[in-house]
Structure 1
Amino acid sequence: MVCAPGYGAHRGRGRCGQLCPKKGRLMRVVIGADVGGSKTVVVAEVDGEVRARIQAPGAALRPDLVLRSATTIADAIRRSLAEVGRPSADVIVVGAAGAGRQQEAKELARALRAEELAETVRVTTDGEIALVAAFGQSPGILILAGTGSVGLARDPQGTIHRAGGYGWQMGDEGSGYALGRAALGAVGRAVDGRAEATVLSQRVLTATRSSDISRLVRWAAAAGPGEIAGLAPLVLEAAESGDRAAGEMVTRAAEDLLALAVSLRGLFSEEKAVPVAITGGVFESGPLAGALRAMLAARSDVMPVDDIVDPVAGALSLARDIAETVSE
């Protein structure tokens, strides 16, 4: 077996691998996974050092499709293990969109344990790992907006609360799906003459390989939430270039996400501003992150956190904690 870089050849076999002669002990391997609707990110850490970062397709949990998600996640985990030269890990923590539904979360945990990828596997929500990445165990508010959206808060007593997160059928305001849906609506209104022309019209037709509005209607009728959310970057790019219709969509999205934070602000005392962090694909480029931060900064009761949170760091942190507990 190939040793993880910098550790030399292995001797003997332990729970997840083998002894490292340089250290004279078993190397600890922990893996964190952030599973969303648009992408899956898996990071493998060996003795506190990140050795692999894998990106795979989205695998958010949906009723009756958990095994499909498990296959995608397990494949990404195997790729990360291959990069560090290990057959399995000590601990894997998976934070997945849709894991707030207990049935799907339990099914995913069973499926991943059956793959024998680690001694310990824990499945939690993508929101929990993002909260940990943002604040550790300290109080704060997190706005997560990718394919879907949700607001989460850890109150001063350590209890986690949520606002939104009801899925594309009932909510997901300010999300990638909401922006993509808004773009489709703008194209239709522009074709009818019910709204001003927008650069989104041609860009959406091109992105969906639709030659005209009738083809676009067919595309939209068959598209899932992830595919519609895939149009969000077009909105963000158009807004950045000055398109008024796209700019209004971004402003509305920021207002909707701000509303999530405001609804959670009541969980805290009024004595000082509460930190609000953001994470998710819609914030990675374009003007939405700046628009939301400006709205947060205009209030005296909340305080925007500058950095965009990397949720997989929270999954790794939880995995380390579990590994420490097991080794004691």
Structure 2
Amino acid sequence: MTKTYYIGIDGGGTKTKFDLFDSDKNSIASITMPTIHPAQASFKEVVSVLTDAKEKLLANINDSDYVLKVGAGLGGYGINADYRKKLEDEFSTVFDEFKLYSDAYAAMLGALAGEDGILMIAGTGSIALAKVGDETFRCGGFGYRYGDEGSAYSIGKALISRALKEADGRLDKSIISDLVADYFDNIGINIIATSDFSRDKIAGLAAAASKYVENSESVRDIFLAAAKEISLHIKAIGKNFESGKRVRLSYIGGVFRSEYILECIKEMNQGIELVAPIYPPEKGSILQV
């Protein structure tokens, strides 16, 4: 009897996670490889990564007669048609049968085990996705320049902004001044204000500040503002569900490591059933294969 095996892929901006699943979609083996994001890796580099990962994972299969199916949630597989075509061509060079999705869509499928509901992602950036039957909806996800409200980046940026205001007397001093100074190794507020830090660096400030939420009103206000922005995403995308129906909401991203944020989300969305992610994105990518 011919068996079916699956490779699920979660392709991010810095690394790519591959997971081999058996016919019952139980994980057998996994491997982490370099990024295959179309903006960061050449055609040849991506094909090499895919080929190497395939060979290493298939070494775990003892059957000689089997079918291999691949599902991949990929950063870059979105509205950019050139990126989509590049990724499709790269995958067709290595695999016979595959389905590609955006990384956020695969994450939603995994978090909700393929069922209807909402996934709110709030890490460095932010976006909400919803699955209602065969339809998919999105809210936010417009990037850090004009969007990504409620993200760790937005929290970090707000903390820096508050520290700058405190430095020149527009606001009274709070723990944020010392927090920001310590985080940036006391390089000086003017250097902080004029430096071009990476998004990840600024986003990391949110995690550093989270421990002060309970005893600092100024920090708590910034985290509360982020929770309100996340709640706006949830309420907006929740309009796509039947009125009065209790909707499941799952969540992914470093912002949700804050218990305060989670409690605020529960309080602001009484009709929502908050559930931790059921499966990781790499499994989510094979649920519809």
TM-score range, shorter chain: 0.7 to 0.9
* Paired position in structure 1 for 2:64: none
* Paired position in structure 2 for 1:294: 267
SS in 1 for 2:20: strand
Query: Is 1:179 matched with 2:158?
Result: no
**Alignment partner of 1:246 out of 196, 214, 219:** 219
CA distance in 1, matches of 2:136, 2:129: 7
* Paired position in structure 1 for 2:90: 111
Give the number of equivalent residue pairs: 281
CA distance in 2, matches of 1:69, 1:197: 52
CA distance in 2, matches of 1:162, 1:282: 19
CA contact (8 A) 2:46 2:90 kept: no
Query: Is 1:35 matched with 2:11?
Result: yes
CA distance in 2, matches of 1:204, 1:40: 32
Deviation of 1:46 after TM superposition, in Å, equals 4.0
- Structure 1 residues 313 and 289: CA distance shift in structure 2, 3 A: farther
Query: Is 1:232 matched with 2:206?
Result: yes
* Paired position in structure 2 for 1:9: none
CA contact (8 A) 1:41 1:312 kept: yes
Higher normalized contact order (CA 8 Å, seq sep 6+, divided by chain length): 2
CA contact (8 A) 1:56 1:72 kept: no
- Structure 1 residues 208 and 98: CA distance shift in structure 2, 3 A: farther
Q: Taking structure 1 as the reference length, what is the TM-score of the superposition?
A: 0.72
CA distance in 2, matches of 1:230, 1:145: 13
**Alignment partner of 2:119 out of 135, 142, 145:** 142
* Paired position in structure 2 for 1:93: 71
* Paired position in structure 2 for 1:307: 276
SS in 2 for 1:186: helix
Deviation of 1:160 after TM superposition, in Å, equals 0.7
- The AA in structure 2 aligned to 1:182 is A
CA distance in 1, matches of 2:47, 2:211: 30
- The AA in structure 1 aligned to 2:277 is I
Deviation of 1:92 after TM superposition, in Å, equals 3.1
SS in 2 for 1:316: coil
* Paired position in structure 2 for 1:129: 106
Query: Is 1:169 matched with 2:148?
Result: no
CA distance in 2, matches of 1:195, 1:79: 53
- Structure 1 residues 192 and 163: CA distance shift in structure 2, 3 A: same
Deviation of 1:55 after TM superposition, in Å, equals 5.3
- Structure 1 residues 264 and 242: CA distance shift in structure 2, 3 A: same
**Alignment partner of 1:215 out of 191, 207, 220:** 191
1:128-178 superposed Cα distances (whole Å, 9 cap, x missing partner): 11221233443322211122111111224x211111111112211111221
- Structure 1 residues 317 and 78: CA distance shift in structure 2, 3 A: farther
CA contact (8 A) 1:126 1:311 kept: yes
- Structure 1 residues 214 and 81: CA distance shift in structure 2, 3 A: farther
Deviation of 1:256 after TM superposition, in Å, equals 0.6
- Structure 1 residues 166 and 30: CA distance shift in structure 2, 3 A: same
1:91-127 superposed Cα distances (whole Å, 9 cap, x missing partner): 332213442224222222323444x2x3334321122
In structure 1, stretches of 5+ residues that fail to align are: 1-24, 323-328
**Alignment partner of 2:233 out of 242, 260, 272:** 260
CA contact (8 A) 1:67 1:108 kept: no
- The AA in structure 2 aligned to 1:91 is K
CA distance in 2, matches of 1:70, 1:110: 11
In structure 2, stretches of 5+ residues that fail to align are: 62-66
CA contact (8 A) 1:40 1:57 kept: yes
CA contact (8 A) 1:95 1:126 kept: yes
**Alignment partner of 2:21 out of 15, 22, 45:** 45
CA contact (8 A) 1:204 1:234 kept: no
- Structure 1 residues 92 and 142: CA distance shift in structure 2, 3 A: same
1:27-81 superposed Cα distances (whole Å, 9 cap, x missing partner): 64422233345765443324433234455677766xxx25369958974884686
* Paired position in structure 2 for 1:12: none
